[in-house]
Amino acid sequence: MNQKVAQLINEQINKEFYSAYLYLEFSNYYADAGLDGFENWYRIQAQEERDHAMLFYQYLHNNDQKVTFKAIDKPDCVLENNMDPLKKGLEHEKYVTSLINNIYAAAFEEHDFRTMQLLDWFVKEQGEEEKNASDLITKMELYGTDAKGLYMLNSELKARVYAAPSLVL
C-alpha cells in the first residue's frame, strides 16, 4: 500500500473519532435543552463516526499497515441556540467530505484502486451526511420557532435507530 495514502487514512481515523466527540458535544447540548430526540440523533451520529473510524482502522490492518493514534482534540464550539449544532454539523460534514476527497485524490494519483473502491462508499456516505444535515437545518427553520412543530420534529428524531454500516473490506 502506498505510504502517503496509508498516512492520510491513518489521520482520517483520528478525524472520525473527533467527529464522534463533536457529535457527542451536540448531543450533550440538546440533552441540557430537554430535546431528547435531537440528543438521540446526534448520539447515533457519534456511533456512526466511531464506526467509520473502525472501518478505516480495519482497512489499514487488512493491508498490513500500522495504525498510529493521536490525541483527540476537545470540540471547540460555542453552542448558544438550538440551531447552532445543526449549522456546525453541516459545516463539519463538508469538512469531512473534503478530507475524504483528498484521500481519494491521493489514491487516484498512486493508482491505488483498492483504496479508491473503499472510498467510493465513503464518498456516497458523505453525500448522505451533508443532505441529512442540510435537511435538519431546513426543518428547524420551518418548525423550530413553533413549540408544536419543534415537539413533532423532536419526536421524529427520537425515533431514529442505529444501523451499523454494511461495508465489506
- Would you state the cell numbers that stand for residue 24, as one nine-digit string? 457527542
Please tell me the distance from the alpha carbon of residue 4 to that of residue 139, in angstroms, as a whole number.
41
Mean pLDDT, the chain, as a whole number? Answer: 96
pLDDT digits (tens, 9 = 90+) for 26-81: 999 999 999 999 999 999 999 999 999 999 999 999 999 999 999 999 998 999 99
Average pLDDT (2-10) is: 97
Domains delineated in the chain? 3-158 (1.20.1260.10)
pTM given for the model: 0.94
Give the pLDDT band (50/70/90) at residue 165.
Answer: confident
**pLDDT at 107 (0 to 100):** 98
Confidence of residue 168 (pLDDT cuts 50, 70, 90): low
